[in-house]
Amino acid sequence: MRSSIIQVDDLSASYQKNKVLSNVNFNVEEGTITAIVGPNGAGKSTLIKTMLGLHPQLTGTVRFWDTSFKIAKKKIGYVPQRGSVDWDFPTDALDVVTMGLYGKIGWFRFPSRKDKEKAMNALKKMGMESYAHRQISQLSGGQQQRVFLARALAQDAELYFMDEPLAGVDASTEKAIMAILKELKRKGKTVLVVHHDLQTVPEYFDHVLLLNKTVYAHGKTEEVFTKDNIATTYGGNMQWIGKGDQYVVHATSQ
Partner 1 sequence: MTYTMWIILTASLVGLSCGVIGVFLILRKQAMMADAISHTVLLGIVIAYMVTQQVSGTGMLIGGILAGILTAFLVQMLHSLKVQHDASLGIVFTTLFAVGVILISTSVGNVHLDVQHALMGEITFIPFTTVEIPLIGAVPKATALLTVVLILVIFFIIAFYKEWKITSFDPALAASLGIPVIFFHYLFMTLVSVTTVASFDAVGAILVVAMLITPAASAYLWTDKLMWMLILSGGFGVLSAVIGYWIATWLDTSISGSMAFATGCIFLFGFLLSPKHGLISRWVRPEAWKEEHVS
Residues lying near partner 1 in the complex (CB under 8 A) are found at: 16, 49, 52-54, 70, 73-74, 76, 78, 80, 84-86, 89-92, 95-96, 99-100, 102-103, 105, 108, 110-111, 135, 137-138, 140-141, 151
CB of 60 to partner 1, least distance (A): 19
In terms of Cα–Cα distance, which of 184, 180, 144, 148 is closest to 163?
Answer: 148
Buried residues in 181-199 as b, exposed as e (16+ CB within 10 A)? beebbeeebbbbbbbbebe
CB of 111 to partner 1, least distance (A): 7
Decide whether 105 or 238 has the Cβ nearer to partner 1. Answer: 105
Decide whether 38 or 80 has the Cβ nearer to partner 1. Answer: 80
Residue 23 contacts residue 12 (beta carbons within 8 Å): yes
201: helix, strand or coil: helix
CB of 213 to partner 1, least distance (A): 21
CB of 16 to partner 1, least distance (A): 7
Decide whether 82 or 218 has the Cβ nearer to partner 1. Answer: 82
Decide whether 25 or 137 has the Cβ nearer to partner 1. Answer: 137
Q: Are strands 159-163 and 238-240 parallel, antiparallel or unpaired?
A: unpaired
Packed helices 141-155 and 113-125: angle between N→C axes, nearest 10 degrees = 130
